[in-house]
A and B are shown apart, each in its own frame.
Chain A
Amino acid sequence: MAHRVDPDQRVDLAPLLEVLASRFRPRDDQEAYELIVGACQEAQRLYGWVPPEAAQAIADHLGVTINRIYGLLTFYADFRTEPPGKHFLWLCHGAACYVMGSSRLIELLRDRYQLEDHGVSPDGEFTLHVFNGCLGVCDLAPVIQVDHHEYWGRLTPERLEAAIEALKRGRGVEDADGTAG
């Protein structure tokens, strides 16, 4: 489930508006405020980021100011306000992953692919989020979740590089770790 990347492409708001109309129906102001983050999460699920048009649509729908929306989008680490690369790498930097060597993976991505936390690689292929919590799959540490569904586990810098090159060549990565599919 790679994201479509075309920064110039206009965002199709229809699916978001549909979700908002069906599942985000505040009964009062209090609830409208409570629903902002959830609505932004839906937008990001749909588009891979929260485009300005989507933020505005959420503000209009919930009757809150756009400032409030951006106040939250910039506060939380999970949100992206820039278009992402084609593939999304969610690198776990929780304690288990640290102990098993996630720092070396971060270094590899930075040095070899000019990929920094929350950045997009120059070739537009990858977005990286370094996750400070635990992805909850510590038995695979150090681990990266790829495109929201696949896991590369028990990585070494060498294995990560091989996996990335395979992904760039457009092939699904089989068995980066011998266990995860």
Chain B
Amino acid sequence: MARLADRQAFEHYAAQAQARWERLWAGDHWIISVGISECSIAKGALETYRHLELLLAQEGIPATLRRVGCAGWCFAEPFVEVRAPGAPPVVYGNITTDRVPELVHALKRGGVKTEWALGVRADEPFAGVQPLSQHPFLARQRRLLFADAGVIDPESIDDYIARGGYRAFLKALFEMTPEEVVAEVKASNLRGRGGAGFPAGIKWESGRRTQAWPKYVVVNSHEGEPNVFKDRRLLETNPHLVLEGLLIGCYALETPHGYNYIGGEHALAVKRFQEAVRQAYELGLLGDNILGTGFSCHIRVRTGGGAYICGEGSALMYAIMGQRGQPRTKPPRSVEEGLWKRPTVLNNTETFASVPSIVLNGGAWYASLGTEQSSGTKLVTIQGPVKRLGVAEIEMGMTMRELIFEVFGGMREGYRFKGVQTGGVSAGPLREDQLDVPVDFDSMTELGGMLGSGGFVVFDESVCAVDFARYLTAFNRYESCSKCNPCRLGNPALVEILDRVRNGYGRPQDLDIIREASKHIIELSLCGLGQVAPMPLLGMMKAFPEEFDAHIREKRCPANVCPISEAALATVGDD
């Protein structure tokens, strides 16, 4: 394919892509789409796809079979969307291979398999199936980044362009100066989605101000936390959206050097992003002299090797440079001295993905979404025994209670809510009586919680607060890069004390020792890992003091998880 030479060539190409898309959906033939993501593959989506292919041929249903990305509803994977001639598309959930024959037979008879349907993509009910937008998982969501999730084929740049993709990049490139792009991002009040919530526009502005070249723009798709899986889903389901955000970032910084650093474990995300980059080169949206403007941009994909610390900004840059990923002291900040000692703007995957809509619709529009201090939408994941596990996109400001019990459907049968761990391994939990707090950057902080990257872990009565605290502390101990002593020595000490408590040898003064040691770790550690490593433990102690007490004074684990030893039991009441 020839590279597009100028704006007109792009417009022409986009019009064709759009016409093809419209023809596809014109309504006169069968279209069957299967969601293929890491998560659906694990549940057998590829088998479902192959089985469908076979049976459709056998039954003589002349359908276009498509692969689309994930739509965030893990609980309904594998999903299959069926558009019969003259009917609106119906989405079916949990179509494992054993259900394929029955589904195909129903279709053959011209029927709708109502009981398996999640919803219909239409404003009105169809054949007894409610509109998908009214499904309880989706009704309260506001999807910008996930708007086309499960609709487009992530491996097709044409699909993306047909749905309006790369229009924001073209707008920036042809109608805006780099300064104007930064001004819109600033006006949007978009705050970093990787955890800290620093305003992206201000970071971009600092990056522009530093007078040293070359400059670099880097996407942080490392996602090594144990509590979240949103960035890889974004890359799996709409990789061009992230790439477009990155391109706009490069334009704003006036640099031809962009990177995406992706956790090596996220194989499908890596593959799809690489494919997106290849397609963009082929079309001339990447490379030299893009669309004849003189602006050039080259994107390199680098992968991580399974070290959580490499998600930290300075460590990530060392990792890209082929060094061990260990953080360094700041200043200088990365916008002054980052990758290869040059000014580097680093943002999270979701942050970049939010940029195209800001450029298209304006910063003011984006700022009107969500809350005043936390604008826009947020991808959130909930893990644990909830009914509807998945990735949701909500406007900032929804309460945690609504999120857990309405969007994610509340607890599964047989599980009772005990708490929700927030901020991953960097903050504490919320109890049931604290759930009316809004999900945004600042509200949870007062309660010892944190938005973090938007991954929340719901846990039930079978989980012991002491054991959970040990798990979270042990994570930080294991992932500590060992560069500085407070973190390297402090975290093992905390784990050791917790093990004592778990084994029934805890002493009342241990809680004070924990508080004291934590203070040192928090105040003296070099990087963000150590500086917050004790927070989950302190949070658990604050939220569930009675459980720590039961372990220490009564040598009893109320959840019956901890290995309290017989010998320790014999000492109850001694002190």
Contact = CB atoms under 8 A, between A and B. Distances in A.
Interface size class of B (residues with CB under 8 A): 35 or more
A152 B158 CA distance: 36
B44 interface: yes
A99 B224 contact: no
Contact of A131 (B42, B306, B319, B467): B306
B225 interface: yes
Interface residues of A, number: 45
Contact of A139 (B74, B263, B321): B74
User: Which among B227, B320, B385 has the greatest number of chain A C-beta atoms within 10 A?
Assistant: B227
Contact of B226 (A79, A133, A140, A181): A133
Contacts, number: 148
A136 B96 contact: no
A42 B458 CA distance: 37
A139 B44 contact: no
Nearest to B46: A181
A43 to B, nearest CB: 12
B92 interface: no
A131 B42 CA distance: 16
Interface string A21-36: 0000000001011111
A132 B47 CA distance: 29
Nearest to A94: B226
A145 B39 CA distance: 12
B96 A179 contact: yes
B389 interface: yes
Interface in A90-112: 93-96, 98-100, 103
Interface stretch (B125-133, B247-255, B277-285, B297-305): B297-305
A57 interface: no
B479 interface: yes
B383 interface: yes
B553 interface: no
Interface in B368-383: 381, 383
Contacts of A72: 305, 322-324
A133 B42 contact: no
Contacts of A131: 265, 306
Contacts of B223: 133
A71 B324 contact: yes
Contacts of B460: 99
B395 interface: no
Given A37-B303, A72-B324, A132 B39 contact: no
B385 A95 contact: no
Interface in A138-157: 138-141, 143, 145, 151, 153
Interface in A144-179: 145, 151, 153, 179
Interface of A: 30, 32-38, 40-41, 64, 68, 71-72, 75-79, 93-96, 98-100, 103, 131-141, 143, 145, 151, 153, 179-181
Interface of B: 38-39, 42-44, 47, 74-75, 77, 96-97, 223-229, 232-233, 263-266, 300, 302-308, 319-325, 340, 381, 383-385, 389-390, 421, 424, 455, 457-460, 463, 467-468, 471, 475, 478-479
30 contacts: A33-B322, A34-B321, A37-B322, A38-B302, A41-B303, A64-B322, A72-B323, A72-B324, A75-B307, A76-B307, A78-B264, A78-B265, A95-B455, A96-B384, A98-B226, A98-B471, A99-B383, A99-B459, A99-B468, A103-B471, A131-B306, A132-B308, A133-B225, A134-B225, A137-B43, A138-B383, A141-B383, A145-B42, A179-B44, A181-B97
Given A75-B325, A132-B478, A133-B263, 4 more contacts: A32-B322, A99-B458, A137-B74, A179-B43
